[in-house]
Structure 1
């Protein structure tokens, strides 16, 4: 055996350079004690990803440099491959550095800087241009960083420079289907260039992004021979023989990719857990209505934080059906969460009385509906402020798209777990969660959805059926299709025009919405940045 390598699938905290350095040192020491002589950490593991405009602060870069000095001083007897920003040649580079016994023996600068979707690395970094090869245990290793593997050039350069093994450091964010696409791409690189590829991916939630881990080893034929679990910190261990061929990968590290619903649900749980914990909240509170959106959100919150850290608040109005309260209480009982019942009628009546002179002679309309939602928002925010628990909003992507939400009402809150989950997917995820344990009452999954803000209201009073709505929204938002193209797909022209008009006119609402977990290739927020005022 030439060497033993560990891939350290780390969940760093963005900006906590000192804390991240401590964890890198601890993980390196444990790897050495486990018999490894090389340990690989993900892209920008020292700073967390993405550090965004922290990279523009000289003090931040100084902390990185100080932390690197500390790592070099405190880690011996094992080689580290580590991602960090490097200030050099009058610029800043996203690098993979090789540290051994107090020395930096090699550094590779990322060549392809992504500047699309959720990425804007050209704002901060300069691009490298050349391969880097280092020798360890008689084997020749090449380096690349994340986006580099999606382009053939850097892998070809490494192979032509004599690499036998390519180490690719990643901070690759999750979206549905990403893992399959990722492994297929790396398989082509391995097969085309005859390289063993070690793919080390970050894990954890960072604001709207979730990094799913699932680091893996690809042999020279393009077969995955070892894979770390997804959505959690892990260590992947492998041995290389004298020819650089992987031998005896730990079978416990080989996990089949999760199916879509399972992986999406895991991403939502991880995103909520890390947002709450990394931002120092004591737990979460949410409004539980008896509908499917709040039911799914409650299940995610409990799975992320534990039942003891979650509080559910029922806020019935004059329009709330008995079965809504019954189903909400039943789910809370099944999940064993603390529940409060605070009727909004006294507050609603007070507001109507205060506004009576203003509303005199005018019929009731959406204004009165919004007042009810805002009564609930005030109650929930008060509980959040007093308890230190973050308020989770429960709106889904379909609602956010067409503005079917109330500013300062049901949109009030600190984090929106299902903000990027279309309504039909909400139902699929709820049913998936019930396959683990039946925590969501069946009636919640079968009754017609309703905001219950007026008598006998259902969502389809003012929206197309969700099967149709979600299909149009996917084409318009995620695939950038125009109205004519969507109509050509078989959708009614008047419905398409109405839906797209709703999307366009409600950009101002989405700008004021809390962040939420990204699970699609085009989420509201970092992905989709449209002007509030537009004549398009």
Structure 2
């Protein structure tokens, strides 16, 4: 009996809905696996359709087309290694998240996902039917158990597969990034290897899809939690895992181990990949943004340059009479350091025209937030006009702190197709700028060095919509505000719990009121990459109209 088996892991970036393109990716990787002498190549969860596909998979014509694509792939790849690939399976009025095993020109087996996640960004209970726990399938000399993603997050599915004869565990995933996810996955899979005594292969996809970024970082464990392979984070890659039969069972030989990045690099890489794929998969090659001279637009411009290259980023300065010379100089410095184009479109004339047009209605009323927002909306109008004329996607630049409390103008500075820093609190924006100035990686297309001037990072934040305006006039200092936001949003803490930590109750209640009152803005805001477990959109779903406030 053969005592060795090579399994190729395909950590790739499928595109949602691109059935033919994903099949082409699979065929190309299969060809490499065949050249490498593999007995099987494994792809990730729902690879043929891309992931997450949400309600698209519930469309019968789409599910049928996906299954037909998999069956054609089996025929086209008959002479070579077996294929494990994720895709839907619709039968007898039921729809399953399935893993298809293709060998010898036919569908040799299917594994149906048993545990359906219904938390955070996942709604699989409303989309799929739960399949029975599926036993192992044989490829060559080895019997493989395949818990699909969530099936491996608890012990029952893996244990049942081991008890029914599985000799290794192959776990295909569509596991999106959030801060701290690497350690969570590793600890869970260590638990599975300890419980079953089997070598375990954790295979995750890469790439951005809407607000989610899949970070790869696939790995292989032998029993006892011994790491034998670590694939890179965020990058497409193939890995050939050589398994050998021992007296204790099948074990993976030691292989390449990529170094995983720290939390700051993980977040930054996620923002770059999220923007790069959002543009690439939606057909945009170029972007533009309003460059104010402030820190938020500076980091967004830097992320855009790193994602798409400086030549594909247009920065636009839109000064009014309240814009300081320092802001003009800072914006110019950021664009110059990055190598991006910088245009200037003044809004003072249009602002005066709008003010005059409304004067007969506003007569007798003092200027207030209305006039400030006119400036922001004129900037949004101008930027959208440039976007339409040149086919460049507009990026919006509000950080999570501003998005949380509604410190942004709807149809103004919130206008845009994507927000790279939507899930990044302001205090983390400061540190991310410092990190990027001190670090450069080969996946960054922008220049190295101090691209964001220290003066941009250190100056007091201001919207410059009136004379001498500062953010801390209407908001608590960001180092305080962000702690309150993390408690109220990320931790769902009560007002009483936060007050017990030493915060002023009136301040906490003010922030709580701002969060609830701005829900309607967030419902209309641009998507952005998910960095935390409580990002705005699918992670946190609150009603727009809501009169409840915490009485504690």
Consecutive unaligned residues of structure 1, counting only runs of 5 or more, are none
Structure 2 partner of 1:246 = 252
Counterpart check, 1:257 vs 2:260: yes
SS at match of 1:415: coil
Separation of aligned partners in 2, 1:146 and 1:488: 40
**TM-score scaled to structure 1, two decimals?**
0.98
CA displacement 1:305-339 (0-9 Å, x = unmatched): 01111100011111111111111111111110111
Structure 1 partner of 2:498 = 486
Structure 1 partner of 2:74 = 72
Counterpart check, 1:374 vs 2:380: no
Structure 2 partner of 1:25 = 27
Contact 2:177–2:214 (CA under 8 A) maintained in structure 1: yes
Q: CA deviation at 1:378?
A: 0.6
Q: CA deviation at 1:88?
A: 2.1
Q: 1:517 aligns with which of 529, 532, 535?
A: 529
Q: CA deviation at 1:351?
A: 0.8
Counterpart check, 1:504 vs 2:516: yes
Separation of aligned partners in 2, 1:189 and 1:465: 45
Counterpart check, 1:364 vs 2:367: yes
Structure 2 partner of 1:396 = 399
Counterpart check, 1:529 vs 2:541: yes
Q: CA deviation at 1:178?
A: 0.6
Q: 1:93 aligns with which of 93, 96, 100?
A: 96
Counterpart check, 1:473 vs 2:485: yes
Q: CA deviation at 1:248?
A: 4.0
Separation of aligned partners in 2, 1:167 and 1:124: 24
Structure 1 partner of 2:18 = 16
SS at match of 1:159: helix
Q: 2:295 aligns with which of 264, 279, 292?
A: 292
Q: CA deviation at 1:137?
A: 3.2
Separation of aligned partners in 2, 1:311 and 1:35: 47
Counterpart check, 1:435 vs 2:441: no
Q: CA deviation at 1:465?
A: 0.7
Separation of aligned partners in 1, 2:492 and 2:33: 47
Q: 2:184 aligns with which of 171, 181, 184?
A: 181
SS at match of 1:205: strand
Structure 2 partner of 1:153 = 156
Where does 1:268-307 land on structure 2 (aligned, <5 Å)?
268-307=271-310
SS at match of 1:12: coil
SS at match of 1:242: strand
Where does 1:324-473 land on structure 2 (aligned, <5 Å)?
324-436=327-439, 437-473=449-485
Separation of aligned partners in 2, 1:157 and 1:325: 65
Contact 2:71–2:107 (CA under 8 A) maintained in structure 1: no
Q: CA deviation at 1:16?
A: 1.0
Separation of aligned partners in 2, 1:219 and 1:369: 61
Q: 2:62 aligns with which of 60, 63, 81?
A: 60
Separation of aligned partners in 2, 1:319 and 1:79: 66
CA displacement 1:88-147 (0-9 Å, x = unmatched): 242011111211111222211111100111000111111122232122332221111111
SS at match of 1:274: helix
Separation of aligned partners in 2, 1:461 and 1:39: 59
SS at match of 1:499: helix
Consecutive unaligned residues of structure 2, counting only runs of 5 or more, are 440-448
Contact 2:399–2:423 (CA under 8 A) maintained in structure 1: yes
CA displacement 1:261-284 (0-9 Å, x = unmatched): 100000000000000110001310
SS at match of 1:286: strand
CA displacement 1:144-186 (0-9 Å, x = unmatched): 1111111111111111112121000100000011111111111
Separation of aligned partners in 2, 1:245 and 1:231: 27
237-246 vs 513-522, greater mean Cα deviation: 237-246
CA displacement 1:502-521 (0-9 Å, x = unmatched): 00011011111111111110
SS at match of 1:55: helix
Q: 1:42 aligns with which of 41, 44, 49?
A: 44
Counterpart check, 1:109 vs 2:115: no
Separation of aligned partners in 2, 1:31 and 1:319: 61
Contact 2:178–2:530 (CA under 8 A) maintained in structure 1: yes
CA displacement 1:55-114 (0-9 Å, x = unmatched): 121110121122012101110211111111101242011111211111222211111100
Separation of aligned partners in 2, 1:51 and 1:30: 28
Separation of aligned partners in 2, 1:29 and 1:489: 59
Q: 2:4 aligns with which of 2, 5, 13?
A: 2
369-378 vs 179-188, greater mean Cα deviation: 179-188
Structure 1 partner of 2:318 = 315
**TM-score scaled to structure 2, two decimals?**
0.95
Separation of aligned partners in 2, 1:516 and 1:255: 27
Separation of aligned partners in 1, 2:169 and 2:483: 41
Contact 1:107–1:132 (CA under 8 A) maintained in structure 2: no
Equivalent pairs, count: 533
SS at match of 2:147: strand
Q: 1:232 aligns with which of 215, 231, 235?
A: 235
Contact 2:4–2:245 (CA under 8 A) maintained in structure 1: yes
Contact 2:176–2:215 (CA under 8 A) maintained in structure 1: yes
SS at match of 1:99: strand
CA displacement 1:168-209 (0-9 Å, x = unmatched): 010000001111111111111112211111111011100000
CA displacement 1:418-466 (0-9 Å, x = unmatched): 1111000111111111012211001011111110111111100000011
Separation of aligned partners in 2, 1:152 and 1:168: 13
